[in-house]
Structure 1
Amino acid sequence: MCPAPLHETVPATTPAASLVFTTVLSHGPLTRAEVARRTSLSPAAVTKAVRPLMEGGYLVEDLDEGARPAIGRPANLVRVDGGRALFIGVKVTGDEIIGVLTDLCCRIRVARHMPLTGREPAVVLPALIAMVQELLVEADGFGVRVCGLGIAVSGDVDRLDGVVRYSPFLDWRDVPLADVAGTATGLPVTVDNDVRALTVAEQWFGAGVGLSDFALVTVGAGIGCGLVVHGRVVSGAHGVAGEIGHLSIDPLGPRCHCGNQGCVEGIASDPAILREVRAATGRPLASVAEALELARGGDPSAREVYARAGEAIGRAIGSVVNVLGPERVIISGEGLAAYDLFAEDIRTAFVRSAFGTAARCDLMTRPLPFEEWARGAAATAIQSFIGPHTYQD
């Protein structure tokens, strides 16, 4: 195994160079003229930024025979060499650890799942390190350095310090995850909130490519929201921007695990739905899948629970759109398994809540497998590798 030196980074030492590299990474291959147009940089500035990136082998140039002008030399396409570096992304849930090995373009090369026997740091951290070591062995077969490790955890995560301040699903407080993982693996480590990490992946490699303002709303075990404003993933002054799951939309509603009444998460998360369907039907259901089956079977009480959940999600999305005015809201997460039951309620509540032309915001559903959350963690490691200009908000 040959982890990268702790301070190896892409030679993008200026905001302009970072902008050029991330533009080619997300939109490439591109000609230099197209890079200049997309970044609003001068041709000279683009050339200056591209040169060290090509010398380092991170950008390569391909002749584009189809772009040959009538006069002069043919235009050359510049693209990122995805095989230049590898990255590991790890998503920690309450039940398992999901790990992926990706290239520099965040394409998954290897994926692994490891069940957990407990949620305590003493149980999770050794398992996480074992997962990373296993993926490092896999990386040896590619003959390319692993240049970073990204870890995604739900809750209040301080990316700057790499500390999990509070994760309600894991019941963690003040766990110095980056220090522990970095010491054990020798890799540069980026720790971030799982929804923000997924938002980075969508911004650079998914449904958010090319959008300067969008939101990612995730439904499932919790209700999360990642925000991109003017091209930046926003974490806010205290690192918890986008926590729409804890908007209190019904003061008389059920108590949320955060302690407040009527939070969106306390109404529309999978655990909340299961609790409410049990109470409404009097059936000792064992799982969300059973609640879903009951609702799809036509049980009116179960269907009403899903309708209320959809309304809560729609109202929350309406609040986001009213405040930030994004071009698109991407709805994802494991809770989309029930989308057929509450899609209409989400849309109706959103339109009712959105003010004026805000209702024109594009609502897009995007089912993603759990490996995509780990890929999001890898995307944050790639982001850190490129440099701080790509993620400071």
Structure 2
Amino acid sequence: MHSPPRTEAVPVPTPAASLVFTTTLSHGPLTRAEIGRRTDLSPAAVTKAVRPLMAAGYLVEGVDEEARPSLGRPANLVRVDGGRALFIGVKVTGDEIIAVLTDLCCRIRVARHVRITTRDPGAVLSSTAALVQELLTEADGFGVRVSGMGLAVSGDVDRAAGVVRYSPFLDWRDVPLAELAQAVTGLPVTVDNDVRALTVAEQWFGAGVGVPDFALVTVGAGIGCGLVVHGRVVSGAHGVAGEIGHLSIDPQGPPCHCGNTGCVEAIAGDAAIVRRVGEVTGLSVTDSAQALELAHRGDPGAREVYARAGEAIGRAIGAVVNVLGPQRVIISGEGLAAYDLFAEQIRDTFAAAAFGTAAQCDVMTRPLPFEEWARGAAATAIQSFIGTEHV
């Protein structure tokens, strides 16, 4: 039997303390002078913010022996003690649950996978609870209690309410997931859209660190987009900001499960590609691996399907860049396995769609395994623990 989890949060009673902690978390180790430069806080304000964080053991300070200067005193560096707290992150797909145990710096310590044969919320929660118990046992070995859990699923997710409004790949509607998960795990639970959760991880710990305006575009079963504007992850008034998968770019295009026609996802999502490759080749194509193999073998019909998918993704990225003007667009997701088949179309269509200097946006690819999506869920739990969801 596990003891109840620690529920106290990081002591960040002021915006300055929150800023200092998150800056050190993402950019550290840092000297106090560097913290001041990055946060525009005075030395006195930095000291005032750091003091309670150090007293509670979340920040530690010490000499960086490797960076010892040739003259003068060695620099004291402030860093987050990642081992001060542990978190669980869970990503639920249509056929698998991926769970990870991370430290406070969102470094994965343990990862677990389990296949699911039903998408019934009760059955999924039961499997999730079993995985969480395994990770809680692993956490015992570190001598640190788990302080929170993040759950990430696709679709329309209301993080504030902890409710999955609609997840098309799971066929869930109005599932109070946070409440149900907390009841079966005993942990504080944060529920968020999977792409938005991955965006939090990229903002704090990945390719978005230090970039105040960026977009994360994911390709695969769905086409998703997470947005960071002025340093904040944007969900919009109704929680569905960034749904570029449902931009209707071809009114005469194929029907989409959302009810519209010609959506990016209806052209470039995995299921759409598989279906279309089967149609144009006349073969029985049942999954993405088969479609990909046909295209890599040079089948002209299959290659054309992927080319069209690349054009749709490039047009969607162009729309994001024209509207928001981000400094960087990160392309990720399991669909990157086919990137060589549509990379040129993405680049060319984006360049044609981007207006003026928007075309200077840095578009990069970042392959991420599904463990990273679960890590994104853990990042939302860390965010809730620190109390910076709205900072």
Could you state the TM-score of these two structures normalised by the residue count of structure 2? 0.97
- The amino acid of 1:294's aligned partner reads L
Given that 2:166 and 2:174 are in contact with CA atoms closer than 8 Å, whether structure 1 keeps it comes out as yes
Aligned to 2:233: 233
Instruction: Give CA deviations for 1:329-354 in whole Å, capped at 9, x if unaligned.
Output: 00000000000000000000000000
Residues 3-152 of structure 1: pairs in structure 2 closer than 5 A: 3-6=4-7, 8-64=8-64, 66=67, 74-152=74-152
**Alignment counterpart, residue 389 of structure 2, candidates 382, 388, 391:** 391
**Distance between the aligned counterparts of 1:156 and 1:337, measured in 2?**
26
Aligned to 1:262: 262
Aligned to 1:221: 221
Given that 1:3 and 1:147 are in contact with CA atoms closer than 8 Å, whether structure 2 keeps it comes out as no
Aligned to 2:251: 251
Given that 1:315 and 1:349 are in contact with CA atoms closer than 8 Å, whether structure 2 keeps it comes out as yes
**Distance between the aligned counterparts of 1:198 and 1:42, measured in 2?**
33
- The amino acid of 1:108's aligned partner reads I
Instruction: Give CA deviations for 1:141-197 in whole Å, capped at 9, x if unaligned.
Output: 111010000000100111111111110110111111111111222211100000000
Q: In the alignment, is residue 348 of structure 1 matched against residue 385 of structure 2?
A: no
**Distance between the aligned counterparts of 1:64 and 1:137, measured in 2?**
34
Moved over 6 A (4+): none
Given that 1:69 and 1:75 are in contact with CA atoms closer than 8 Å, whether structure 2 keeps it comes out as no
In structure 2, runs of 5+ residues without a counterpart are: none
Aligned to 2:285: 285
In structure 1, runs of 5+ residues without a counterpart are: none
Higher mean C-alpha displacement, 240-249 vs 13-22: 13-22
**Distance between the aligned counterparts of 2:280 and 2:74, measured in 1?**
69
Measured after TM superposition, the shift of residue 122 of structure 1 is 2.1
**Distance between the aligned counterparts of 1:307 and 1:3, measured in 2?**
53
Measured after TM superposition, the shift of residue 75 of structure 1 is 3.2
Measured after TM superposition, the shift of residue 70 of structure 1 is 6.0
Measured after TM superposition, the shift of residue 5 of structure 1 is 3.4
Measured after TM superposition, the shift of residue 252 of structure 1 is 0.2
- The amino acid of 2:367's aligned partner reads P
Given that 1:117 and 1:123 are in contact with CA atoms closer than 8 Å, whether structure 2 keeps it comes out as no
**Distance between the aligned counterparts of 1:188 and 1:69, measured in 2?**
48
Measured after TM superposition, the shift of residue 287 of structure 1 is 1.2
Instruction: Give CA deviations for 1:298-340 in whole Å, capped at 9, x if unaligned.
Output: 1111111000000000000000000111111000000000000
Aligned to 2:361: 361
**Distance between the aligned counterparts of 1:141 and 1:3, measured in 2?**
16
**Distance between the aligned counterparts of 1:111 and 1:100, measured in 2?**
4
- The amino acid of 2:60's aligned partner reads V
Indicate the percent of aligned positions where both proteins have the same amino acid.
79
**Distance between the aligned counterparts of 2:70 and 2:230, measured in 1?**
34
Given that 1:246 and 1:265 are in contact with CA atoms closer than 8 Å, whether structure 2 keeps it comes out as yes
Measured after TM superposition, the shift of residue 91 of structure 1 is 0.3
Aligned to 1:321: 321
User: For this pair of structures, how many residues does the alignment match?
Assistant: 389
| Matched residue SS, 2:253 | coil
Measured after TM superposition, the shift of residue 128 of structure 1 is 1.0
Given that 2:6 and 2:145 are in contact with CA atoms closer than 8 Å, whether structure 1 keeps it comes out as no
Measured after TM superposition, the shift of residue 133 of structure 1 is 1.2
Computed over aligned residues only, the root mean square deviation of the Cα atoms, in angstroms, reads 1.2
| Matched residue SS, 2:249 | coil
**Distance between the aligned counterparts of 2:9 and 2:68, measured in 1?**
32
**Distance between the aligned counterparts of 1:132 and 1:346, measured in 2?**
39
| Matched residue SS, 1:378 | helix
Measured after TM superposition, the shift of residue 68 of structure 1 is 5.5
